[in-house]
Amino acid sequence: MKISSLKGLFLLLLPICIVLFFSFRKSTFLSVEGKFGTFCLSCKAYESGSAVGTYGFGLAYCDDNIKEMSNQINYDEIEKFKVFLKDKGLSNLLDRVVKIEQTLKSNNTEKYFTAVKDYSNEIELLNVEDKEMVLAYFK
């Protein structure tokens, strides 16, 4: 009789403990500051988060999934970078930055992530001299 009552008590307390665990656990807040703004994301208590800066922009994930981010964008700085890229003749990279700017203005997080990845890949494909010139811009 005692074993069944302990088992019943355990089965009753288990869901309560799980709910309390997730209720009191703090959520994860991520923030990446880059040259072009601050990129923020809040993950739920049961999610793990990660964030990375990518050549002036920021990406943040909850459990490796794309979630809606809250951003404070410095469009003036993006405009200066676009002028820099145009002056240096880096039109492919300029096109990538324009695409990122459009996705930020339309608040489309999934397209923003894709655009930033394409932008990062474009920088990686630059020759050594051009890549150093772009990286020097961020210093």
pLDDT in tens, 76-129: 999 999 999 999 999 999 999 999 999 999 988 889 999 999 999 999 999 999
101 contacts: CB under 8 Å, gap ≥ 6: 75, 78, 82
Most confident of 6-10, 21-25, 114-118, 135-139: 114-118
Rounded distance between C-alpha atoms, residue 139 and residue 85, angstroms? 15
Q: Global pTM?
A: 0.77
pLDDT at residue 18, rounded to an integer:
62
Tokens of 95: 């096109």
> Looking at the predicted structure, is the pLDDT value of residue 24 above 60?
no
